[in-house]
Amino acid sequence: MKQPLVQPLDRNATPQAQKMASFYEETLGFTPNSLFTMMHRPRIANAFVEMNQAVMENKGRVTSSLKREIAYLSSMTTGCRYCEAHAIRAAERYGSTEKRMEAIWDYKTDPVFSDADRAAFDLAIAASQVPNGVTDAIAENIRNYWDEGEIVEILGVVALFGYLNRWNDSMGTELEQAAAVSAQEIIGNKGWEIGKHSY
């Protein structure tokens, strides 16, 4: 794309934009351009922030780092380079190890991952596909390791990033420099590139 479909608002354009910017400073170290694009319709931005906080809240075994790893796998499955970069940066910031991030696409065999991790990742990848790839076998397997509330958390991450993947790839949202650096350092050797998200 020659330019984003819609230009993001300036972070100081409105008091609401300024308030929203502060939430993401902790999560990513910057506020995403995607949020400022949503701010053209503040109710959409507000609803997204509320959903994001609800989904990414740490309730226990589905840790903050695991949620970001799921977000990365989901975004990689759908092909959104913008969301891949954000998820991998957030995973790093929320405690995922370099070893896990480097081996994540070998999760089925790499010993750094548990069987519970594998079940969560299988569900995340299958649920991110169009048409949907969740089967009885995947459902039965995840029930062996995670309770119903935890499965809701895992699928909540996939659904949240389904929205973000479509939003950012369709918008052609410009990727922030900090996220681009993290992605290049951590997954650049796995074929990640910035794609349409650079202007």
pLDDT digits over 83-142, tens only? 999 999 999 999 999 899 989 999 999 999 999 999 999 999 999 999 999 999 999 999
Residues 32-86: tens digit of each pLDDT: 999 999 999 989 998 998 999 999 999 999 999 999 999 999 999 999 999 999 9
The rounded distance, in Å, linking the Cα atoms of 3 and 48 is: 24
Which stretches within the chain are classed as H helix? 15-27, 33-38, 42-56, 64-78, 81-93, 98-103, 115-128, 136-143, 148-171, 177-187
Question: Which residue type occupies 193?
Answer: E
Q: Are 31 and 21 in contact (CB under 8 A)?
A: yes
Q: Which two three-digit tokens encode residue 86?
A: 């954000």
CA 62 to chain centre: 15
Q: Reply yes or no on whether the pLDDT at 18 is more than 90.
A: no
Per-residue tokens: 116: 């519970």
The pTM assigned to this predicted structure is 0.94
For residue 60, give the DSSP letter: S
Q: What is the CATH number of domain 62-192?
A: 1.20.1290.10
